[in-house]
Amino acid sequence: MTVSAARMRVGFIGLGIMGRPMAGHLVNAGYAVTVHNRSRAAVEALVAGGASDGGSPAGVVRVADVIILMLPDTPDVEQVLFGPQGVTEATRPGQIVVDMSTISPVATRDIAARLAEEGVAMLDAPVSGGQKGAAEATLSIMVGGEQAVFDACFPLFQVMGKNIVRIGEIGAGQVCKACNQVVVAITIQAVAEALTLANKLGVDSAKVRQALLGGFAQSRILDLHGQRMLDGNFQPGFRVNLHHKDLNIALTSGGAAGVPLPATAIVQQLFGALRGRGDGDLDHSALAKLLSALSGLD
């Protein structure tokens, strides 16, 4: 790597629920950060806090050594990298693209190969920990890519997260994230089923959650998402649409490898039903809302 961590200029593209606070931490840590987003409000807020406005993905790349992406899905990442005014219109050999979005591991390997032709290195570095982890800089970051590139970017990851693990070569971070999303989806559904059952049987579901938190069924999801379910607060958080996308990635990967994922497939169907009801922009804990409706509780 030609760029030392201390002098790294950072580009950040995709300033939504996750990207905006993550970019903010980098600004607050003293990095020169240039940002871009499709809608303007988050750009203006970060510029007010000390970031620069790149104006477009290519504009970001012209003044950055490392370009971080935090976009919704595979087509968004491909468009920002290779579309009009995209990243690759302005890349220089020696730059690094760090994709922290959750996208397909197969597409990630293809993208990395295309960037390598331009002399640009890539890491896939999806995260877990949600909105709270992004706000508190406690994200778990699962990274795929060359060790030397990982080492160069490690100081940036430390600003945004706590548990930073290089899983393996390019794409390995996205495989890890797919595994994470399987566990999270099935656990949310389990919590939704438990609390809905208690509710329907006339038992105080808040007391059930409280008791379960001290026993073998305790989990962060029972704690945080269980509370959301009790409050009926389904503002995201993590959108149903995004988790539906992530389970598609897991099911496609499992299908290609001959690994059946039956529980994942069921929760995928339930996320699909929420989308069909127009609830795709709710938090993924809205699985409980769907179950309540199916149980005649609404």
Residues that bind ligand NAP (CB under 6 A): 13-19, 36-39, 42, 70-72, 76, 79-80, 101-102, 127-128, 130-131, 237-238, 242, 246
CA distance 45 to 74: 26
Q: At what angle do helices 262-276 and 287-294 cross, to 10 degrees?
A: 80
Catalytic member of 132, 162, 177, 245: 177
Q: How far is the CB of 197 from ligand NAP (least distance, A)?
A: 26
Residue 37 contacts residue 13 (beta carbons within 8 Å): yes
Q: How far is the CB of 14 from ligand NAP (least distance, A)?
A: 4
Cβ neighbours of 4 (radius 10 Å) = 10
Q: How far is the CB of 107 from ligand NAP (least distance, A)?
A: 12
Q: How far is the CB of 41 from ligand NAP (least distance, A)?
A: 8
**Position of minimal CB gap to ligand NAP:** 16
DSSP state at residue 40: S
Please say which residue, 128 or 199, places its beta carbon nearer to ligand NAP. Answer: 128
CA distance 70 to 35: 11
SS3 for 251-282 is HHHHHHHCCCCHHHHHHHHHHHHHHHCCCCCC
Please say which residue, 76 or 169, places its beta carbon nearer to ligand NAP. Answer: 76
DSSP state at residue 89: G
Please say which residue, 52 or 128, places its beta carbon nearer to ligand NAP. Answer: 128
Q: How far is the CB of 215 from ligand NAP (least distance, A)?
A: 27
Cβ neighbours of 89 (radius 10 Å) = 16
CA distance 236 to 233: 9
Please say which residue, 80 or 111, places its beta carbon nearer to ligand NAP. Answer: 80
Please say which residue, 16 or 208, places its beta carbon nearer to ligand NAP. Answer: 16
Active site residue 177: yes
Two structure tokens written together for 136: 């508190």
Q: What's the gap between Cα 163 and its chain centre? A: 15
For residue 136, the surrounding DSSP H or E stretch is: helix 130-136
Q: How far is the CB of 88 from ligand NAP (least distance, A)?
A: 14
* C-alpha separations of 170 from 2, 78, 236 in Å: 20, 16, 30
Please say which residue, 1 or 224, places its beta carbon nearer to ligand NAP. Answer: 224
Tell which residue, 139, 68, 74, 131, has the closest CA to residue 107. 74
Q: Which residues are annotated as catalytic?
A: 177
